[in-house]
A and B are shown apart, each in its own frame.
Chain A
Amino acid sequence: MKEYTFFPGCSSEHNASAANMENSIQSMCRILGIKLNEIDDWNCCSASIGYAGGGQLPRMAMSARNFALAQKQRGNADLVATCAACWLAMRETNERLEHEADVKGAINTALGEAGLSYDGHIRTRHFVEVLIEDIGWETLKSKVTKPLKGLKVAGYVGCQTNRPFGVCGDSFENPLYLDRMIEATGATAVPFPMKVACCGGALMFSETEKSCVLTKQILQSAVDNGAEVIITPCPVCQLNLEVYQGMINKNLGTNFNIPVLYYAQLFVLAWGGSWQDAALHQQVVAAEPLRRFA
């Protein structure tokens, strides 16, 4: 049993928008023997968009409070996030605390107001790094009992697991980890030129029409390359690509109806998990192309 400290983030809470990611990742963990120990009483990481209301120190204090709680509750065990935005916010904060003594001092003064302190040394990792580096490709492949043979998948990496840090040394222009995950389940990764294009991120909320144009191009590229489903590691990408298809069809004259899933949902199904275990009942655009493997 491998144990990690876990930061789920707001979108993975019960009844929240990435409940399908959370449920399928927990199923993966059960199969792999991973235990994710959730930080008790964590707060929001404030994501990238927190810059405008929060500035630097309040924004970093948000992640630092989670680090301090993690340290108090679980020592210096690796801290794992499943959301790309949470991982990035935490990692950026961690790097600044490590390299800028005055920032670390100020943050600890602020933490003191909450009766907490953080002295560094916790590694912040994304769950896909845990899968690739700690579990390994061989194990991920060896668990497959129901290969998703013939399923054509577009691996949409998006921005924030890819830039600026990247996953496991992949290139920014053509990261391969998601395609390798698709192939590990027995499915086929279609060529996908838009795999690292931006979907608009949080600007989908404020500049919906402009962001829909970006999302449309990504969906079009997946469909043009023969994909039956799209997979992604990021809850914001997932939401933008899945939930706005109706609006895009209406306003931009398209006819999309393509399921957008998390990599974890493919793995769980290929490893013999049920439709429910893979949280495939929680898709807004029904995952029909996967029925033949259920």
Chain B
Amino acid sequence: MAYDLSFAKEVYKKSEMGHWIKMCMQCGVCAGSCPLRAHWQHSPRQLFQMVRAGKKDEVLKSSDMWMCTSCYNCIARCPRNLPITHIIHGLARYAETQGKVDPKQPTRRFAVEVFWENIVATGRVGEAMLTMRLYFQDGIGAGIQRGLEMKDSALGMLKTRRLNPIPFRGKIKGYDGFKKMLAKAAELEVKLENKA
């Protein structure tokens, strides 16, 4: 495993809230906070240590960050007030921009290819389309399989008028401006660096 000592500097500058990692005192309180901790190979504490040790590929290729449920337990408990949730999201996003993530990582696929694309397409979440794209991302067969597993729930939602039977929703009125705004924000994002 190669150690890249510029990696810590890179994270401090470019990853969301990354500079806070300097403040971590390795107490381990956050390690017990994650609801899916059984499925994390490294806890947030360990990931922060690995950033400082320059273990670039180990961190960025890890699926750990993608196990974050955004529960904010860690933020509520960290004695140093690190915004851990956002640091973890930041590392996941940074890994994504660096092309390091396994494209089949399920949460990455949902967050990037289904959720984000869904809102960018119209300005709002279309739940029926979201569900369809989620189910059919592995092809028709797998989609029908998953659809059948959730058939009773889907029918329940339809019957109680909590699911729109028409999967296509219109765009918001200001969609053109909305799109341009997002493009500009993405352009400025590249220049945004953490100060501290």
Contacts and interface: CB of A to CB of B under 8 A. Distances in A.
A54 interface: yes
B160 A284 contact: yes
Given A52-B89, A53-B117, A17 B185 contact: no
Contacts of A11: 125, 127
Contacts of A203: 36, 67, 69, 107
Question: Which of B71, B108, B149, B186 has the largest number of chain A CB atoms within 10 A?
Answer: B71
Contact of B110 (A57, A164, A206, A282): A206
Give the interface size bracket for B toward A. 35 or more
A44 B124 contact: yes
Contact of A41 (B39, B72, B152, B172): B172
B36 A15 contact: no
A205 B134 contact: yes
B29 to A, nearest CB: 13
A274 interface: no
A52 B111 contact: yes
A10 B185 contact: no
Contact of A43 (B75, B90, B178): B178
Q: Helix, strand, loop or mixed for chain A's interface?
A: helix
Question: Which of B67, B114, B149, B189 has the largest number of chain A CB atoms within 10 A?
Answer: B189
Contact of A202 (B67, B90, B110): B110
B160 A20 contact: yes
B162 A20 contact: yes
Given A41-B173, A52-B92, A115-B177, A61 B162 contact: no
A14 to B, nearest CB: 8
A150 B76 CA distance: 35
Interface string B160-196: 1111110000001110011011111110110010010
Nearest to A173: B76
Nearest to A92: B86
Contacts of A206: 106-107, 109-111
B67 to A, nearest CB: 7
Interface stretch (A104-112, A223-231, A257-265): A104-112
Contacts of A247: 149-150, 153
A66 to B, nearest CB: 11
Given A52-B96, A113-B183, A17 B35 contact: no
Given A20-B162, A207-B67, A214-B36, A50 B174 contact: no
A48 B172 CA distance: 21
A138 interface: no
Question: Which of B111, B114, B127, B185 has the largest number of chain A CB atoms within 10 A?
Answer: B185
B3 interface: no
A51 interface: yes
Contact of A10 (B72, B116, B124): B124
A172 B70 contact: no
A24 to B, nearest CB: 13
Interface string B125-159: 11100000010000000000000011011001100
A27 interface: no
A205 B110 contact: yes
Contacts of A48: 70, 85, 89
A281 B86 CA distance: 39
A113 B188 CA distance: 13
A159 B71 CA distance: 5
B16 interface: yes
13 contacts: A11-B125, A42-B172, A53-B112, A65-B181, A114-B174, A115-B177, A116-B181, A163-B71, A164-B75, A202-B111, A203-B67, A207-B106, A282-B161
Given A160-B70, A207-B106, 13 more contacts: A10-B125, A50-B111, A52-B111, A53-B120, A114-B181, A198-B73, A200-B69, A201-B70, A203-B36, A203-B69, A210-B36, A244-B153, A246-B153
